[in-house]
Amino acid sequence: MSQIELVDDLSRLKDQTPGPARKEVDAEQAELNALAARIADHYRTDFITPRLLSGYLRLAEFSALVLVGILLLGFRVEFATPFITSYALMIVLGPLAAIAAIEMAGGYRIAFLKRSPLSLWRIAATWVGIVAAMTTSVFFIYEDAVHSRIFFGGWALGGIVSLLALRILLRSQIRRWARDGRMERRAVIVGGGGNAEKLIRGLEADPGSDIRICGIFDDRDDRRSPPIVAGYPKLGTIPELVTFSRRTRIDMLIVTLPLTAEQRLLALLKKLWVLPVDIRLSAHASELSFRPRSYSFIGDMPMIDILDRPLADWDLIAKRIFDIAFAVLAILALSPLLALTALAVKLDSRGPVIFRQKRHGFNNQTIEVFKFRSLKHEFTDPEGKRIVTRNDDRVTRVGAFIRKTSIDELPQLFNVLRGELSLVGPRPHALRAQSSQNETFVEIVDGYFGRHKVKPGITGWAQIKGWRGEIDQPQKLKMRFEHDLYYIENWSLRLDLYILVMTPISMLRKTDGAY
């Protein structure tokens, strides 16, 4: 196989229909050995990436400099000054310029943030230079001493104090995070032997590396893949790796198989694509050479990017803010409807108003979603073993209406606030979800759990396209799955907003499958 053909095969993993190998891993719940379970529990806490940390620091420093400027303006200049516009511009543009200058000087790199506080003179000098430049600019623009010298001097001094204080506090926090294993990017090596050892040695030789290796997984026995490689234990097989990645917080998988073993490599990647992690292929030991732009680098180690997490860092934060804001607004706006529906459910049949059902959430974790009860109390089905069909005698009179209009889903807005659901995403299916022909969803769709790479949602791309309601034909689930994957691969806040706007329209336009 040529280099071009190999790269094409790897890139097609993002687009090709999941194969039979995926079903085998998705359906299997491999048990972890004692060591792997202990390590998984140790890394269960969330981690913070360098990109996210530097972004938080930029935001904190910008806010601190603006706050110091506003306080000085209020106490030393007064907001009624005729030059309020120029002061306001300086209070905004000055911190922005400082952030850009600190970035150019490398002040947001993790290696710099870990240095001794004595090295922070560069940050102080940068801010003093920005204030001096603004003072000079104002002098030439207005040709008179119409701006307060106390303001500029106080802002320079107050800015230095706030910047240094933030960085000293952050340095101590970084050291604590590093000890707890939350600061580095957590990586698992897939494949043992000589290639894995060379990769590990290369990563450890880089003083600026932020990679924390959590272990090695390999399907080969101890004769071909030693139980310990470069001091790191082999924790299990590939099915156990899937379980391990769903139990703990992992950032990336680094595959060390040689590029020449393309069939084995493709079979392995087909099993791993369902996980919400970055997948990188180590190219350090490859005899094949590609153009430099084909590689990314972890330290000095060349990698080929196979798959990226759908949502990470600032995208994840933006979506969470979007979810909280719109969920709060929706609850406030729909509170009369929520109250009336609760009353109607209570008066129509005995039993609780809210029904709780266990469903698959992000990364295949079990969550409990809220719904208005639409079935008779004695027929409630917490695991969703039996789907609701047309003219189902288990459905109450009120239940038939709220199911058809999807009002029964509105309590899931509180799941959004709890962080278990998103407003938009693949709909969460019940743990034992089956079609009308009693086939489980995993049996119908190969790679079914790949839709759990993002948080499930109250509504989604598949729902507004008409793929909601009863699964009475395998093709319906396959179409829903394809639409879910489209959403995962093309996510944006604009797409989320479009889906939210189209959801009520789609429910009025097509309700054939909802009952």
Rounded Cα distance, 321 and 419, in Å: 11
Pick from 21, 490, 441: nearest CA to 271? 21
Neighbour tally for 240: CB within 10 Å: 19
Which band of pLDDT confidence, cut at 50, 70 and 90, is reported for residue 471?
Answer: low
Which band of pLDDT confidence, cut at 50, 70 and 90, is reported for residue 338?
Answer: very high
**Burial class, 278, CB count within 10 angstroms (exposed 0-12 / middle 13-18 / buried 19+):** buried
> So what's the pLDDT on residue 58?
93
> So what's the pLDDT on residue 290?
52
pLDDT tens-digit map of 231-280? 899 998 888 998 998 888 888 999 988 766 777 888 888 888 888 999 99
CA distances from 499 to 333, 496, 503 (A): 19, 5, 6
> So what's the pLDDT on residue 14?
42
Cβ(274)–Cβ(25) below 8 Å: yes
Rounded Cα distance, 404 and 197, in Å: 58
Over residues 188-201, mean pLDDT? 87
> So what's the pLDDT on residue 383?
65
Over residues 359-365, mean pLDDT? 88
pLDDT tens-digit map of 127-178? 999 999 998 888 777 766 667 888 889 999 999 999 999 999 998 888 888 7
> So what's the pLDDT on residue 285?
55
pLDDT tens-digit map of 299-336? 778 888 888 888 888 888 899 999 999 999 999 999 99
- What average pLDDT is seen over the chain? 82
Inter-axis angle of helices 313-348 and 397-404, nearest 10? 150
**Burial class, 474, CB count within 10 angstroms (exposed 0-12 / middle 13-18 / buried 19+):** middle
Over residues 357-369, mean pLDDT? 89
pLDDT tens-digit map of 365-424? 889 999 999 888 777 776 666 677 777 778 888 888 888 888 889 999 999 999 999 999
Over residues 207-216, mean pLDDT? 83
Residue 243 CB partners (closer than 8 Å, separation 6+): 29, 30, 31, 32
pTM here is 0.75
Which band of pLDDT confidence, cut at 50, 70 and 90, is reported for residue 20?
Answer: very low
Q: Where in the chain is the domain with CATH 3.40.50.20?
A: 3-47+184-309
> So what's the pLDDT on residue 4?
41
Over residues 12-17, mean pLDDT? 45
Residue that wins the pLDDT comparison between 96 and 194: 96
Half-sphere exposure of 219 (CA within 13 A, CB side): 11
- Asked if the model's pLDDT at residue 1 lies above 60, the reply is no
Residue with tokens 């917490």: 382
pLDDT tens-digit map of 80-107? 677 788 888 999 999 999 999 999 988 8
Cβ(249)–Cβ(47) below 8 Å: yes
Cβ(444)–Cβ(478) below 8 Å: yes
Neighbour tally for 180: CB within 10 Å: 12
- Asked if the model's pLDDT at residue 16 lies above 50, the reply is no
pLDDT tens-digit map of 472-510? 677 888 888 889 989 998 999 999 999 999 988 887 766
CATH number at 3-47+184-309: 3.40.50.20
Which band of pLDDT confidence, cut at 50, 70 and 90, is reported for residue 295?
Answer: low
Q: Which two tokens stand for residue 275?
A: 């996980």
Residue that wins the pLDDT comparison between 445 and 479: 479
